[in-house]
Amino acid sequence: KDVSYGKVRAVVNALYIYFSVFLCLSVSFTIVVPPDPVVAHVGSTVILPCWISPPENAEALEIRWYRHNHAAFTCACGRMQCNLILEYIYLYIRIENYRGLILLSSSKQLLLSLTLCAWRRSKRLSLLSLALGSAPVLSPEPLDDGRVNISCRSSGWHPKPSITWTSDNGRALRPGGTSHSRGADEMFSVHSWTAVSLSDTKLVSCSLSLRSGELKESRVHIQAIYSDSSGPWKALFLTLLISVLLGLVGLILYKYREKLTGSFAHNP
């Protein structure tokens, strides 16, 4: 009986090895990912789909997602959800199942690698992470030549935004200069300025935009700036004018009084 049991066990093991080898040799699949970059905003969740073609049972697969210039993080296929927090990237990464549902990181590409037996397939997904910054803050300052210098500041952008100055009729205004800076959080800050006169336009608009077409815009009225800047001078001029007029009236009354007093003195 022991000999028979040993033979049966040997046959079962042989069949298991045979079918395992056959399964490995018959492995033939490809990874399908979206052809265009997946777009998401920093701080939001995005689904990065990938598919196995032809359809396979993915429970035996080992999945690795590689972030550019960083080590891999792995999710076993049999689990419904596994979570990772990577402190050196902007966002929280979540892998839910073998289809590769994850949260966007700050990298431009993720490499998906699937391994079954000794067979490995890899595919890259292109990512585009966006951060819509703050509304532009416009600061006008009158110049000595009668023009107004307007500065435009905004922060919290990713990637680097484009900046556009326009007049009230939609005409593009040439900026005097533009500077970009990048903080420790990898976000961009923008500072731009331009000088305009009332003859050029009555309203100036500063808009910042991303490649996705999203933008933020602020406007300032030049006429109001001129009015505000000339207000104190007008008040001072009116004050001086009233003072001069009152002085003249007082002087006239004084002279008239002296004249009357002299007339009464000569004619008692």
Q: Are residues 37 and 123 in the same domain?
A: yes
Query: Is residue 261 included in any domain, yes or no?
Result: no
Query: Which of 90, 112, 130 finishes a domain?
Result: 130
Q: Flag whether 6 is in a domain.
A: no
Looking at every residue in the chain, the average pLDDT score rounds to: 69
Residues 32 and 117 both lie in one domain: yes
pLDDT band at 7 (very low <50, low <70, confident <90, very high): low
> Residue 233: inside a domain, yes or no?
no
* 157 lies in the same domain as 124: no
Torsion of CA 253, 255, 258, 260, to 10 degrees: -70
Please choose, from the candidates 74, 118, 123, the residue with its C-alpha nearest in 3D space to the C-alpha of residue 98: 74
pLDDT digits (tens, 9 = 90+) for 215-229: 999 999 887 665 555
Same domain, 30 and 123: yes
Model-level pTM? 0.56
Range(s) of the domain holding residue 45: 24-130
Asked whether residue 238 is domain-assigned, the answer is no
Which of residues 130, 151, 171 is at a domain's end? 130
- Other Cβ atoms less than 10 A from the Cβ of 19: the count is 10
Read off the pLDDT of each residue in 47-59 and give the average, rounded to a whole number.
65
For residues 125 and 31, state if they share a domain.
yes
Nearest-CA neighbor of 196 among 140, 246, 125, 153? 140
191/93 same-domain check: no
d(CA 188, CA 130): 11
Q: Tell me whether residue 58 is in a domain.
A: yes
- Which residue is listed with tokens 């289809």? 99
- Using the 3D structure, point to which of 104, 130, 156 is the last residue of a domain: 130
Torsion angle of the four alpha carbons 128, 133, 135, 137, in this order, in degrees rounded to the nearest 10: -130
Show the tokens assigned to 170: 């939609």
How far, in Å, CA of 215 to CA of 156, rounded? 13
Q: pLDDT tens for residues 177-231?
A: 999 998 887 789 999 999 998 777 888 999 999 988 899 999 998 876 655 555 5
**Residue 266 domain flag:** no
Q: How many domains does the chain have?
A: 2
9 in any annotated domain: no
- The two most distant CA atoms of the chain are separated, in Å, by 166
**Residue 206, amino acid:** C
> 201 in a domain, yes or no?
yes
Residues 107 and 193 in one domain: no
Can you name the residues that pair with 15 across neighbouring β-strands? Answer: none
